[in-house]
Structure 1
Amino acid sequence: MHHSLRRRLFGWFGFAILISVGLGYAIHGLVEPSSLALPLALGGGAMVLWIASGGIAWAVTRPLVELVSVARDIGEGKLDRRMRLGRLGRRGRGRGHGGEVAVLAEAVNTMAARIEQQLADQRELLAGVSHELRTPLGHLRVLIDTAREAGEAAPSGMLDELEREVIELDALVDQLLAHSRLEFARVERRPLDPVELAVRALERVGEDASKIEVESEVEQVSGDPTLLGRALANLLTNARAHGRGLVALRVYDGEPGELCFCAEDRGPGFAEGEPERVFASFVQGRERRGGSLGLGLSLVERVAVAHGGRAWAKNLADGGASVGFCVALGDLQ
Structure 2
Amino acid sequence: MDRAPGLSVRVKLTLSYAGFLMLAGALLLAAVWVFLLRYVPTRAMLINPDDRVNGVFPVRSALLHVFAPRAAAVLAVLLVFGLVGGWILAGRVLAPLTRITDATRTATNGSLSHRIRLPGRKDEFRELADAFDTMLTRLEAHVAEQRRFAANASHELRTPLAISKTLIDLARADPHHDTGELLDRLHAVNTRAIDLTEALLLLSRADQRSFTRQPVDLSLLAEEATETLLPLAEKHGVTIETSGDITPTSGSHALLLQLTTNLVHNAIVHNLPEQGSVWVHTGVRPKTVVLTVENTGEQVTPERASTLTEPFQRGTERLHTDHAGVGLGLAIVTTITRAHDGTLALAPRPAGGIRITVELPAAAPHTNR
Normalising by structure 1, we get a TM-score of 0.70
* Cα pair distance change 1:116/1:169, threshold 3 Å: same
* Cα pair distance change 1:62/1:263, threshold 3 Å: closer
Distance of 1:219 and 1:62 partners within structure 2: 53
Residue type of the alignment partner of 1:330 = A
Show the counterpart of 1:167. Answer: 191
Structure 1 residue runs of 5 or longer lacking an equivalent are 1-5, 26-32, 94-99
1:198 aligns with 2:225: yes
Show the counterpart of 2:205. Answer: 181
Q: For each residue in 1:185-226, what CA deviation from the matched residue of structure 2 results, as whole angstroms up to 9, or x when unmatched? A: 3343345542553146517x9455995533245387643244
The equivalences for 1:250-329 within 5 A come to: 250-254=279-283, 256=285, 257-262=288-293, 264-265=295-296, 267-271=297-301, 273-281=303-311, 283-285=313-315, 287-290=316-319, 295-316=328-349, 320-323=353-356, 325-329=358-362
8 Å CA contact 1:239, 1:245 repeated in 2: no
Residue type of the alignment partner of 1:298 = A
Show the counterpart of 1:82. Answer: 115
Show the counterpart of 1:215. Answer: 243
Show the counterpart of 2:106. Answer: 73
Distance of 1:214 and 1:48 partners within structure 2: 79
What SS class does the counterpart of residue 213 from structure 1 fall into? strand
* Cα pair distance change 1:11/1:294, threshold 3 Å: farther
8 Å CA contact 2:233, 2:240 repeated in 1: no
Which of 251, 271, 276 aligns to 1:243? It is 271
Structure 2 residue runs of 5 or longer lacking an equivalent are 1-12, 33-65
Show the counterpart of 2:96. Answer: 63
Show the counterpart of 2:82. Answer: 49
* Cα pair distance change 1:223/1:331, threshold 3 Å: farther
The equivalences for 1:58-137 within 5 A come to: 58-86=91-119, 90-93=120-123, 100-137=124-161
Moved more, 103-112 or 130-139: 103-112
8 Å CA contact 1:129, 1:293 repeated in 2: no
Residue type of the alignment partner of 1:53 = G
8 Å CA contact 1:235, 1:324 repeated in 2: no
Distance of 2:347 and 2:73 partners within structure 1: 84
Offset at 1:109? 2.5
* Cα pair distance change 1:243/1:35, threshold 3 Å: closer
8 Å CA contact 2:244, 2:281 repeated in 1: yes
1:224 aligns with 2:252: yes
Residue type of the alignment partner of 1:234 = N
Q: For each residue in 1:138-179, what CA deviation from the matched residue of structure 2 results, as whole angstroms up to 9, or x when unmatched? A: 111122223344557534233222222122222322332233
RMSD: 4.3
1:139 aligns with 2:169: no
8 Å CA contact 2:233, 2:268 repeated in 1: no
* Cα pair distance change 1:308/1:212, threshold 3 Å: farther
Offset at 1:112? 2.6
* Cα pair distance change 1:70/1:319, threshold 3 Å: closer
Identical counterparts, % of pairs:
26
Show the counterpart of 1:96. Answer: none
Q: For each residue in 1:68-93, what CA deviation from the matched residue of structure 2 results, as whole angstroms up to 9, or x when unmatched? A: 3332332232323433512xxx2213
Show the counterpart of 1:29. Answer: none
Offset at 1:125? 0.9
8 Å CA contact 1:17, 1:49 repeated in 2: no
8 Å CA contact 1:235, 1:263 repeated in 2: no
